[in-house]
Structure 1
């Protein structure tokens, strides 16, 4: 990241863990605004990184589905429009909410 043209601040960080029977996460993050913030998910375990495009466990190793709003981030195991039989993500990852400005 080139910080010569902008600054950033981590305003939230925490574990997003779908490796067990975890529910969806609804995170209340004061100061989060999609207009000047991003939410990132970074895998923390090697087994959560897909080995290739033909890896049959792709859905389990996919990043969770994220929606953002002012003051809130919702992280779901799978796309809410997916069928009930769709396998959701089983990743354990670190989540970061970052505010940036130019």
Structure 2
């Protein structure tokens, strides 16, 4: 990251744990993050366990190792174990444990 042209600040960090996701009920985290604005902030998710990294695109357990679905708005990020429009009767949810960061940037 080249910080000679802009600055950044971690405004929130925590763990999102989807390891208990099963069946057709999604796991949902609603994170209230003061100062979060999609216009100048990003939300990142980084898997923390080796078993949560997909081996290849054809990996049959790919959905259980996928990144969670995140929706951002002013002051809030909602992180879900599956896309809200997914049919969880026929699609697996993510089961990763990840470190999550909200970062504000500017010039």
Structures share fold, TM-score greater than 0.5: yes
Displacement after TM superposition at 1:84 (Å) = 2.6
Tell me which residue corresponds to 2:2: 2
Question: How do 1:70-85 and structure 2 match up within 5 A?
Answer: 70-85=74-89
* Cα distance in 2 for residues equivalent to 1:23 and 1:77: 5
Aligned to 1:96: 101
Give the deviation of 1:54 after TM superposition. 1.0
The answer to whether structure 1 residue 65 and structure 2 residue 59 are counterparts is: no
| TM superposition shift of 1:20 | 1.3
Moved over 6 A (4+): none
- TM-score, L = length of structure 1: 0.97
Flag structure 1 segments of 5+ consecutive residues without an equivalent: none
